Copies of this chain bind each other. A is one copy, B any other.
Amino acid sequence: MFKKILIANRGEIAVRIIRSCRELNIPTVGVYSDADRHNLHIRYADEAYYLGPSKASESYLRGDKIIEIAQACGADAIHPGYGFLAERADFSQACQDAGITFIGPKPSSIAAMGDKQAARYTVAEAGVPVVPGTEGRGDLSDEDLLRLAPEIGFPLLIKPSAGGGGKGMREVQDIRDMAGLLTASRREAEASFGDDNIYLEKMIQGARHIEIQILADQHGNVIHLAERECSIQRRHQKLLEEAPSPFIGDDEKLRQEMGQVAVQAARAVDYINAGTIEFLVDKDKNYYFLEMNTRLQVEHPVTEAVTGIDIVKEQIRIAAGHPLSRKQGDINLNGWAIECRINAEDPYRGFIPSTGMITQSLLPAGPGIRVDSGVYSGYQITPYYDALIAKLIVHEETREETIARMKRALEEYRVIGVRTNIPFHQALLEDPDFLAGNFDTQFVDDEVPPFTGHQKDKNLPKIAALAAVLAAHENTQRSAIVIRRAQRDISNWKWMGRWERTNK
């Protein structure tokens, strides 16, 4: 096993990785930017070193500095988490060159899947179905793309070749909008990935986003851990994920078939470690390869909940050369799991990010609840990194019970000082179509009702008004005391004394 693991990441995922390392009794090294000195991942790591300024390009994207730190402190492995350097073949290569184990796939596998266009071509060659698009044509100019678009047909999607996480993606409904959208997509792609290459893909109407988690060791064993459904997205950003998929449901044949195809796609690039094959599935249960994420996913905990497997521990064991601890036949699904991504953003005002200090963070608790988070009471949300402040994962026996538990957890969860999308999730979990499992990847953009009035208790605004008045009244009384103290108004003191006694 490793002597020491450096975690080249921040926030909830760095904390999550540290937790598994600690349970494996492997010392950890955290790295931090100026903005993150007091963050949990630094406080929880066994060692911590300064990386650079707050901007990611000057800190968490500085692979060279990270390898330098690893060498200086004697870390013999690096876990990249997700985002930042996780899908950079050059970083994986640089680790290898420096004699440090990169906890993830080989550089060649990352490269093969990292260019989204090339990946589509590769897996199609291996017999995996792909969504029609411009795959296999290389990087094209705007002119070429405008010319090819009518062949693919509308609506279609513009996607960054180096992409991930929905950044830079644009939908095109009509060729007249396309030129502007190409520009916007390239601009965002350049800003996010340092690469403005883009490609086109037909948009499958009414499609569901269903992905298969796979694990592959260095001894040729590849297994899948069944599916996650991630169709609840807003502008291609996943918001809620579940395992299993309500769409696949009891169709064990489809589950195993997609699982096998995912294993096949992984084998096509000689894949090692944990990875995810994303599919679009249409209403007739046709499935198409979308892309492969050659890293740990944000939503991995729902799979951990239903399979009982700690995926991060498996990643570390695989990287250390251990064979997989389980065969395909050992994988059983128990119960149902849902993850809500809790973002610092205001669902009432177009989901704009909310910065500032979280003055209190009170976690939900009790049976079947897991919180993965890097924030805490006193945490300062900065504009440098993404808006994800926590993942709330619940587990129960059936989908219905899991939803009921999630509603309970969302109500218990308090993030005070900044706005969060908790009311969005609450509204979603009351939506009849969501409850019935009738939704596709467009569902949130098209269907979710406004968040006001979804609460069964119509009295809530009145109660909020009363609570505010009582708080304000008490403030006034307090101020009055200060003023009147000089005037020695004894009677008022008495009243205040009683108030304080009953309220302290």
Binding site for B on A (CB under 8 A): 15-16, 19-20, 22-25, 44, 301, 304, 308-310, 334-335, 360, 362-363, 365-373, 376-377, 396-397, 401, 404-405, 407-408, 411-412
Contacts and interface: CB of A to CB of B under 8 A. Distances in A.
A366 B19 contact: yes
Contacts of A407: 23
Given A25-B404, A308-B397, A310-B367, 10 more contacts: A19-B367, A23-B407, A24-B404, A308-B334, A310-B397, A363-B363, A363-B365, A365-B372, A365-B373, A377-B377
Nearest to A360: B377
Contacts of A304: 367
B408 A23 contact: yes
Contacts of A15: 366
A334 B25 CA distance: 23
B362 A366 contact: no
21 contacts: A15-B366, A19-B367, A19-B408, A20-B367, A23-B401, A23-B405, A23-B408, A24-B404, A25-B404, A301-B367, A308-B334, A308-B335, A310-B368, A360-B377, A362-B376, A363-B363, A365-B371, A365-B372, A366-B372, A367-B370, A368-B370
A362 B376 CA distance: 9
Contacts of A24: 404
Contacts of A366: 15-16, 19, 370-372
A404 to B, nearest CB: 4
Contacts of A22: 404, 408, 411
Contacts of A19: 366-367, 408
* Interface-central residue, A366, A369, A373, by most chain B CB under 10 Å: A366
A396 B310 CA distance: 9
> Which DSSP category, helix, strand, loop or mixed, fits chain A's interface?
mixed
Please tell me how many copies of the chain the complex holds: 2
Contacts of A44: 412
A370 B369 contact: yes
A412 B377 CA distance: 15
A439 to B, nearest CB: 22
Given A308-B335, A334-B308, A404 B23 contact: yes
A44 to B, nearest CB: 8
Nearest to A395: B308
A367 B22 CA distance: 12
Contacts of A301: 367
Contacts of A371: 365-366
Contacts of A411: 22
A334 B395 CA distance: 14
Contacts of A23: 396, 401, 404-405, 407-408
A11 to B, nearest CB: 13
Given A22-B408, A334-B308, A365 B376 contact: no
**Residue picked from A365, A377, A397, most chain B C-beta under 10 Å:** A365
Nearest to A362: B376
Contacts of A362: 376
A60 B486 CA distance: 45
A411 B46 CA distance: 13
Residue of A44, A309, A367 ringed by the most chain B CB atoms within 10 A: A367
Nearest to A372: B366
A451 to B, nearest CB: 20
A464 to B, nearest CB: 16
A404 B396 CA distance: 24
**Most interface-central of A25, A304, A335, A368 (chain B CB within 10 A):** A368
Nearest to A503: B38
Nearest to A312: B367
A404 B21 CA distance: 10
A365 B389 CA distance: 14
Contacts of A365: 363, 370-373
Contacts of A25: 404
A362 B407 CA distance: 23
A377 B362 CA distance: 9
Contacts of A373: 365
A368 B301 CA distance: 10
